[in-house]
Amino acid sequence: MNKPNIIVVLVDQMRRDAMSCAGDPNVRTPNLDRMAQNGVRFTSACATFPACVPFRFSMITGQYAHSRNVPALGFRLSPAERTIGDALKDEGYATAYIGKWHLYSAYGVSGGLTLSQACRTPIPASHRRGFDYWRGFELRNEFYDTYYFANDDPQPRRIDGYQTDGLFSLALEYLEKDRSGDQPFVLMLSVEAPHPPFTAPEDSLRRVRDRGPLLFRPNVDLGGIRFFPPEWFEESGPAGKVDPDDPASVERVAEANMQAYYAMIERIDDNMGRLNAALEKEGLADNTVVVFLSDHGELGGSHGMLGKAEPWEESVGIPLIVSGPEALVARRGQTASVPVNTEDLFPTFLGLAGGKAGDGLPGMDISPFIRGETGEPDRRGVLLEFVTETRANRSYYDETWRGVRTARYKYTVIGDRTGARPWQLFDLHTDPHEMDNLVDRPEHAALARDMHRRLCELLDATGDDFALAGSFGIEARNTVAPVA
């Protein structure tokens, strides 16, 4: 068989459980469910650094965000980086990228661009290396006013209608008209939904609303919300402006936004159906692997929080489905609990193409498992991290965190250069909603010590000089004395 085509659909801020096949009662995703039936769904997939920019950096380069001190927002990818596009071109692939890039501007920090400017500012070829076919933009976060650029044409082009529909239409245009004959291709499609502001077409929103009140997770505490991300509560949103001092207002707007969130996901699912139909129509379905994933999750009121960038499962947990014909994806209809993180994507995409990432990248190639050549990998855990925050009004500006996630447990620490201290320890089998912190329980001291040791091993293996205080009988590392 010829080298398989690879399509990667990356959505923004969709948490791992927000699919019918993952058990969420608030959403209907028949096309994603069908993908899961025709492939493998990873139930412990995580965003290493659960924020838009660092996820994209690590997916595109295969490197940890801490290796370049990538912040939560505001970063420009160096032209010196080798991208997944470069690697796949070396394997003989035509490379295409459509949609949000978010690795060029300094939007959101001092001197940065506005959202509108970012959408209308072209990204030079030097800073989008590896992708010969380009229909991209930096970012927009406005679903009825999005522009993109075609290759090196400096004139922005408007997407008519709803952004998700328009970007999928551009992907279909590539498949039906613009791809290069019989050359194998990789197509990366990056849509901004379901990222706030929560906006969905009326028919999609009505479908969700007509099903009645949402069934929230047991850990949701809308009345406990204390921080209100500005992008979460837009006055133009489905419930209007929120009054942070009025609990009833917070609950009303939060529920309306989450209804729109689910409507945005259902619109994505509708478009996945369009994509699948196009693959069948063009005779590509028998030799194409489709990967569906997100860059991070959405807290949606869990633990009294909104947005992302937290170590909770609703934030770090991402959907990851790899689907295709049996000759390419042997693990059909299966789930895998092996922990997977962002740095695994580059070597896995390359492995699906028949290539090898070599020794220069830290991630694990899980393509042999997907093809049925090996069993499910046995892994001690993956690193989770928050590297740096440049915005003084956001969490983790003064202290940052690291964590280790195994198939069953999650352990995190938080602190500054004087040494991070133990913070959270959860048994995800018995406590999937992370409501019982075990970190200070004497009866779990041995488990905490083992998880702390695993974290130390990961930090050392990945060249992370994050400072840890001495804990559980394990000596401190990389600490500095506090400033007097």
Q: Is residue 243 part of a domain?
A: no
CB 221 within 8 A of CB 304: yes
Is the pLDDT at 385 greater than 80, yes or no? yes
Asked if pLDDT for residue 17 goes beyond 70, the answer is yes
Rounded to whole angstroms, how far apart are CA atoms 332 and 35? Answer: 9
Q: Is position 248 within any domain?
A: no
State the average pLDDT over residues 8-26.
Answer: 98
Residues 329 and 415 grouped into a single domain = no
Same domain, 348 and 415: no
Domain CATH for 451? 3.30.1120.10
pLDDT for 481 equals 85
Q: What percent of the chain has a predicted confidence (pLDDT) above 70? A: 98
Same domain, 263 and 404: no
Count the neighbouring beta carbons within 10 Å of the beta carbon of residue 411.
27
164 is a domain residue: yes
Same domain, 436 and 349: no
Within this chain, do residues 153 and 87 fall inside the same structural domain, yes or no?
yes
Q: Which of 2-16, 116-130, 411-425, 426-440 has the lowest mean pLDDT?
A: 116-130
Least confident of 95-109, 281-295, 375-389: 95-109
Average pLDDT, the chain: 94
Q: Which ranges of 91-147 does DSSP label H, i.e. alpha helix?
A: 115-119
Q: How many Å apart are CA 147 and CA 159, to the nearest integer?
A: 6
299 and 419 within one domain: no
User: For position 113, which CATH number holds?
Assistant: 3.40.720.10
- Judge whether 23 lies within some domain: yes
**pLDDT confidence of 55, banded at 50, 70, 90?**
very high
Q: Give me the mean pLDDT over the 142-153 stretch.
A: 96
Which residues have CB under 8 Å from 425's CB, separation 6+? 409, 410, 411, 412, 437, 438, 439, 444, 447, 448, 451
Inside any domain, residue 293: yes
247-281 vs 163-173: helix crossing angle, rounded to 10: 20
Residue-level pLDDT at 119: 85
Q: By residue range, what is the domain housing residue 413?
A: 398-461
The model's pTM is 0.96
208, part of any domain = no
74 and 194 housed in the same domain: yes
Question: Is 350 a residue whose pLDDT tops 70?
Answer: yes
The verdict on 115 and 21 lying in the same domain is: yes
pLDDT in tens, 389-431: 998 988 999 999 999 999 999 999 999 999 999 999 999 999 9
Residue 106 has pLDDT above 80, yes or no: no
Give yes or no: residues 341 and 305 share one domain.
yes
Do 457 and 366 lie in one domain? The reply is no
How many domains in the chain?
A: 2
Task: Judge whether 149 and 122 are in contact, CB under 8 Å.
Answer: yes
For helices 345-352 and 52-61, angle between their N-to-C axes, nearest 10 degrees: 40
When mean pLDDT is compared across 30-44, 105-119, 242-256, the lowest value belongs to 105-119
% of the chain residues with pLDDT over 90: 85
Domain boundary pick from 326, 350, 370: 370
Question: Cis omega (within 30 of 0) on the bond before 197?
Answer: yes
pLDDT for res 24 = 97
Query: 3-class SS at 415?
Result: strand
One-letter identity of residue 213: P
For residue 310, name the pLDDT band (cuts at 50, 70, 90). Answer: very high
Beta carbons of 79 and 129 less than 8 angstroms apart: yes
Tell whether 64 is covered by a domain.
yes
pLDDT of residue 46: 98
Tell me, yes or no, whether 403 and 261 share the same domain.
no
**Is the pLDDT reported for residue 373 higher than 50?**
yes
Buried b / exposed e over 52-87, threshold 16 CB at 10 Å, is bbbbbbbbbbbbbbbbbebbbbbbebeeebbbbbeb
Judgement on whether residues 334 and 413 belong to the same structural domain of the protein:
no
The closest of 344, 338, 376, 339 to 362, measured between CA atoms, is 344
pLDDT one-digit tens code per residue, 64-105: 999 999 999 989 999 999 999 999 999 999 999 999 999 997
